[in-house]
Amino acid sequence: MDLKQLIRNVPDFPVEGIQFKDVTTLLKDGDAFAHAVDLMYDPFRDEEITKIAGIEARGFIFAAAMAYKLNLGFIPIRKPGKLPAETVAEEYVLEYGKNVIEMHVDAVTEDDRVLVVDDLLATGGTAAAACRLIEKLNGTIVGVSFLIELTELKGREQLAQYPVHSLIQYPI
């Protein structure tokens, strides 16, 4: 199954110059969605994973499906102010300015071995901050899994200390 051909490139969204990789065209195909989720955890199937962490918003879709499939707990990593209980936060630098992501302080314990999931790896700032959040609570990162990687942005360099897997690559 050619998953790549099910991803829609939308030029100049949300701002001029960005080639937005739209996964809704893959998600609406049931076989493709299931196949993508299976292939996203396949390299980690022999690892002892205890929880799947998903990054808001499109990461939730793949991470939650994976957690259900593997009968594991799901951890939401969210934009600031969305999680209701006590949180830990991590900042990361964007081209212009900064972003913050949060996770509940009781989401992870030192016994957890976590697979981090998002739809797309660009510069790697978001996923690296997600990994730092989990490590702040003494969890172990088993790996980081993406549907798509924009290879020319070299996001892997930010995640050099973790096993990183992507299913579909574009230069940018």
**CA–CA dist 146, 63 (Å, integer):** 10
- Shortest gap between Cβ of 123 and ligand AMP (angstroms)? 3
State in angstroms the smallest separation of the CB of 34 from ligand AMP.
21
Nearer to ligand AMP, 85 or 160 (CB): 160
Rounded Cα gap, residues 61 and 56, in angstroms: 9
* Residue among 69 and 79 whose Cβ is closer to ligand AMP: 79
Q: Which residues are catalytic?
A: 58, 95
Sheet holding 113-121, edge to edge: 73-77, 51-55, 113-121, 140-150, 164-170
Write down the least CB distance from residue 51 to ligand AMP, Å.
19
Cα angle: 5, vertex 9, 10; to 5 degrees: 155
Strand partners, 94: none
- Please report where in the chains the tokens 């212009």 appear, as a residue: 96
Of 114 and 122, nearer to ligand AMP (C-beta) is 122
Q: Which residues bind ligand AMP (CB under 6 A)?
A: 18-21, 55, 58, 118-126, 155
Q: Is the dihedral angle over the CA atoms 160, 94, 13, 130 positive or is it negative?
A: positive
Nearer to ligand AMP, 100 or 138 (CB): 100
Distance (Å, whole) CA 59 – CA 48 = 21
Closest approach of ligand AMP to the CB of residue 92, in Å: 7
Report the distance separating Cα 57 and Cα 2, nearest Å.
24
